[in-house]
Amino acid sequence: MTEKNLSEAIKNILEKELKNFSKLIPNDVLKNIGKNVSPQIENMIEKNGFVRKSKYQNLEKIIDDLEKRLSELEKN
């Protein structure tokens, strides 16, 4: 999950749960809350074994590169 998507999801949840108060709270405040809370939620998610799609793809690329290097070393 991208940071933008995570922030947007947090914003949507806050708006839904605090619907009565959202009219009183400016949208900028909700966006700032999402930006501040997002890293903490992401850390909690990663502690449970889940990672963002971009991080997974980067790790997958590193693994592929390492496998290619190993194959080349085995050939030599």
Helix runs in 1-76, H state only: 3-17, 19-22, 27-47, 53-75
Q: Which residue has the higher pLDDT, 7 or 22?
A: 7
Annotated domain spans of the chain:
3-75
Kindly give, in sequence order, each residue whose CB lies less than 8 Å from that of residue 2, ignoring residues fewer than 6 positions away: 52, 53, 54
**Roughly what angle, to the nearest 10 degrees, separates helices 3-17 and 27-47?**
120
The mean predicted confidence, pLDDT, of the chain is 81
Q: Which residue has the higher pLDDT, 71 or 37?
A: 71
Q: In the structure, what pLDDT confidence band is assigned to residue 22 with cuts at 50, 70 and 90?
A: low
Distances (CA, A) of 40 to 25, 28, 29, 31, 55: 22, 19, 17, 15, 16
pTM exceeds 0.75: no
